[in-house]
Amino acid sequence: MNTGLRFIATVALALVVAACARDVRDEPVAPSAPADGGISQTDRIDARDFSDARNLENPDSILSQRVIYFEFDRSDVRAQFRPIIEAHAAYMDANPSARVSLESHADERGSREYNLGLGERRGSAVRQLLSAGGASSGQMEVVSYGEERPVCRESNNECWQRNRRVEIVYTAR
Amino acid sequence: MRVSLKEKLSLDFVTTVKAIGWILVMGWLGTAPAHAQLRIEIVDGVEGATPVAVVPFVWAASQQAPATGVADVVAANLARTGLFEAIPRSQLIERPTEPQDVGFGAWRLVGADYLIMGRVVDAPDGPGLEIEYHLVDVNAETAVLSQALPVRPGGLRFGAHRVSDAIYEALMGVPGAFATRIAYVVVQDSGTDDEVFELIVADADGFNPQAVVRNSEPIMSPAWSPDGRQIAYVSFATGRSNIIVQDLYTGQNRVVSSSRGINGAPAFSPDGRFLAVSLSRGGSPDIWLIDLETNDRRQLTRHWSINTEPVWSKDGEVIYFTSDRAGRPQIYSIGRDGAGLARLTFEGEYNSRASVGLDDRFLALVHSPGNNDFRIGIYDRETERLRVLSDGRMDESPSFAPNGSMILYARRDNGRGELAAVSADGRVRQRLVNSEGDVREPAWSPLLR
């Protein structure tokens, strides 16, 4: 198969996978793993099958969790979040067409441009762990928004905790 | 080609980038504000502010007089500094237009130390107007300043600011900063699906706010070119950070940096040729210089830490920046050739985002002693002492007035951003109240001539 056709086939497969993954309950089940990983035709989803795109929307699967939280002015990933990152690394390893944007954020404290740097440092920490778990660097992009995109807008510890985060956003599955 | 206002405010970034030729400044005076305007309130003034009487100027021009006269603008400007007290109009006992008409004894009874008067006439040659004005010392019974200032058509309000500048300089010995503008970012419908970021440019007294750019993605870090014609800023319109330079008069803009990672913190060199920026294309944010003529870029810092928020020394030879290479953010300096790295601040756990004062002696910065509060501090490089000027908990983005008198900054009040200003000596405080939106990242323009 020439490269062009292979590319189209890959994109088509990715689109099918993405369409199915959007809602695992209503959509008919379709092949969800790449050809080299074997095709699963069963209705049952194994929540621990990290190659299965349906688990991205399966609340029983750790793959449905995509936000990593950080401590103030820190970028080291705490132990409790490592299993999430490992699961996504396994998924990306099994699905080479998958692409993620690591949208990285800081809380409002301190200056905005410094927080842009701090956000990126957190995104890079997650990228490194994903990479160690099998994801390739071409599958990941870190985009730091600093403190510009808070999910919580009050000036207190609870909000700040929720805002210091990296979101793993799939741009292709 | 002139693009309509609607297109000008289009959320479509491509349209915004490509819109060439719309005129932002359509007569800085007289256009109705398209946005909620900032209203400046004095929080703290100076004990014993100098009483000044500003007599309404006589309108002797052929065109119709504006609703807000020159005297109103001048009186408001002087009062806003907190250094002067404008005597209420009801107490103005006579209306002289020239020093020889002044009855000094009566003005002493009113308590005026100085008297400002004048008239507006048609320009002797060509279109436009001329403001004739006099500053009179009531106690010495002499005219301190008598001048005529030509004003472009539509430029009367800005002319009144220039009159204020000249009067301020005559009384204070340093130039005023009234004939200047401020840029800031306002977020409308913050936190909703309709959230919109706007880059606004307004006169320094908050009048005539105009949206320069509007987008649903974040806009950050506006910085003025030394001639006040251009603004560099950070846009996320493409989903990633880009540095844009936009001409305020033609609306032309161009992307000057869109490399992988962060493209942030632009700052024009004093000669306007270079942009100091923070780029993380090498893996972590470092300071780079971009030559705006040749597009050459040169890396100044090489360190795995965060290096950002560059600002230039007045002579353009040194760049001050924020780095956390020693663990927490502190202010450093480096030569524009990349040599002579030095750490400047040691006091407190957090010092960042420097703004340079009139000369390089004073740096305004974001300071935290380590108790979760972030305030505006002023660092004196001669005494190596840092003094806290603001009293908020979440103060940031200090920007010196071009005459070094005031520092404009952003604060948060009940979860909403607003602007405030404090004098460099900490005695005068202002709030810049905005009726709507979340306001942040003020940048004071250079002196406009």
For residues B371 and B403, membership in a common domain is answered with yes
Query: For residue B13, is it within any domain?
Result: yes
For residues B185 and B58, membership in a common domain is answered with no
Tell me if chain B has a CB within 8 Å of the CB of A144.
yes
Q: How confident is the model at residue A42 (pLDDT cuts 50, 70, 90)?
A: low
- Confirm if B257 and B237 have CB atoms less than 8 A apart: no
Instruction: Identify all chain B residues contacting A150, using CB atoms and an 8 Å cutoff.
Output: 191
Say what the pLDDT of residue B434 is: 83
For residues B144 and B23, membership in a common domain is answered with no
Q: Where residue A104 sits, what CATH number does that domain have?
A: 3.30.1330.60
- 399-418 of B, contacting A, C-beta below 8 A: 412, 415
pLDDT digits (tens, 9 = 90+) for B149-194: 999 988 999 999 999 999 999 999 999 999 999 999 999 998 899 9
For residues B210 and B142, membership in a common domain is answered with no
- Tell whether the model's pLDDT for residue A1 goes beyond 90: no
Contact A146 B220 (CB under 8 A): yes
Helix (H) or strand (E) holding A118: helix A112-132
Query: For residue B240, is it within any domain?
Result: yes
Q: Cα–Cα distance between B3 and B15 in angstroms, integer?
A: 10
Single residue among B111, B146, B172 that ends a domain in this structure? B172
Contact B262 A117 (CB under 8 A): yes
Query: For residue B29, is it within any domain?
Result: yes
Query: For residue A65, is it within any domain?
Result: yes
Q: What is the mean pLDDT of residues B323-347?
A: 97
Contact A113 B265 (CB under 8 A): yes
Distance from CA of A22 to the nearest CA of B (A): 21
Which domain does B351 fall in, by range? 5-36+178-444
Say what the pLDDT of residue B10 is: 33
Query: For residue B361, is it within any domain?
Result: yes
For residues B15 and B71, membership in a common domain is answered with no
Contact A120 B261 (CB under 8 A): yes
- Report which of residues B60 and B6 the model is more confident about: B60
Query: A169: number of CA atoms within 13 Å, CB side?
Result: 14
Beta bridge partners of residue B234, listed in sequence order:
B220, B243
Query: For residue B41, is it within any domain?
Result: no
Q: Which of A114, A145, A154 sits opposite B415 (nearest CB)?
A: A154
- Tell whether the model's pLDDT for residue B331 goes beyond 80: yes
Q: What is the mean pLDDT of residues B209-220?
A: 96
For residues B131 and B98, membership in a common domain is answered with yes
Q: How confident is the model at residue B111 (pLDDT cuts 50, 70, 90)?
A: very high
Say what the pLDDT of residue B44 is: 80
Chain-centroid distance, C-alpha B389: 18
pLDDT digits (tens, 9 = 90+) for A107-166: 999 999 999 999 999 999 999 999 999 999 999 999 999 999 999 998 899 999 999 999
Question: What is the dihedral angle through the alpha carbons of A49, A50, A53, A58, rounded to the nearest 10 degrees?
Answer: 70
pLDDT digits (tens, 9 = 90+) for B399-441: 999 999 999 999 998 888 999 999 999 999 999 988 789 999 9
Tell me if chain B has a CB within 8 Å of the CB of A73.
yes
Distance from CA of B352 to the nearest CA of A (A): 7
Query: For residue B45, is it within any domain?
Result: no
Query: For residue B44, is it within any domain?
Result: no
Which domain does A124 fall in, by range? 53-172
Q: How many domains does chain A have?
A: 1
For residues B159 and B235, membership in a common domain is answered with no
Say what the pLDDT of residue A41 is: 52
Task: List the one residue out of A138, A154, A28, A59 whose CA is nearest residue A93.
Answer: A138
Say what the pLDDT of residue A23 is: 38
- Tell whether the model's pLDDT for residue B117 goes beyond 60: yes
Query: For residue A167, is it within any domain?
Result: yes
pLDDT digits (tens, 9 = 90+) for A44-83: 889 999 999 999 999 999 999 999 999 998 999 999 999 9
Single residue among B140, B155, B172 that ends a domain in this structure? B172
Q: What is the mean pLDDT of residues B323-336?
A: 97
Q: What is the mean pLDDT of residues B239-245?
A: 97
Q: What is the mean pLDDT of residues B258-277?
A: 98
Amino acid at residue number B89? R
For residues B255 and B126, membership in a common domain is answered with no
For residues B123 and B30, membership in a common domain is answered with no
Query: For residue A146, is it within any domain?
Result: yes
Nearest residue in B to A148, CA atom: B218
Q: What is the mean pLDDT of chain B?
A: 90
* pTM, entire model: 0.86
Q: Where residue B145 sits, what CATH number does that domain have?
A: 3.40.50.10070
For residues B308 and B203, membership in a common domain is answered with yes
Query: For residue A30, is it within any domain?
Result: no
Q: Where residue B214 sits, what CATH number does that domain have?
A: 2.120.10.30
Q: Cα–Cα distance between A134 and A117 in angstroms, integer?
A: 26
Query: For residue B60, is it within any domain?
Result: yes
Query: For residue A68, is it within any domain?
Result: yes
Say what the pLDDT of residue B34 is: 53
For residues B16 and B81, membership in a common domain is answered with no
- Tell whether the model's pLDDT for residue A14 goes beyond 60: no
pLDDT digits (tens, 9 = 90+) for B49-95: 999 999 999 999 999 999 889 999 999 999 999 899 999 999 999 99
Q: How many domains does chain B have?
A: 2
- Confirm if A65 and A46 have CB atoms less than 8 A apart: no
Say what the pLDDT of residue B398 is: 98
Instruction: Identify all chain B residues contacting A153, using CB atoms and an 8 Å cutoff.
Output: 190-191, 415
Say what the pLDDT of residue B222 is: 98
Single residue among B151, B172, B193 that ends a domain in this structure? B172
For residues B353 and B400, membership in a common domain is answered with yes
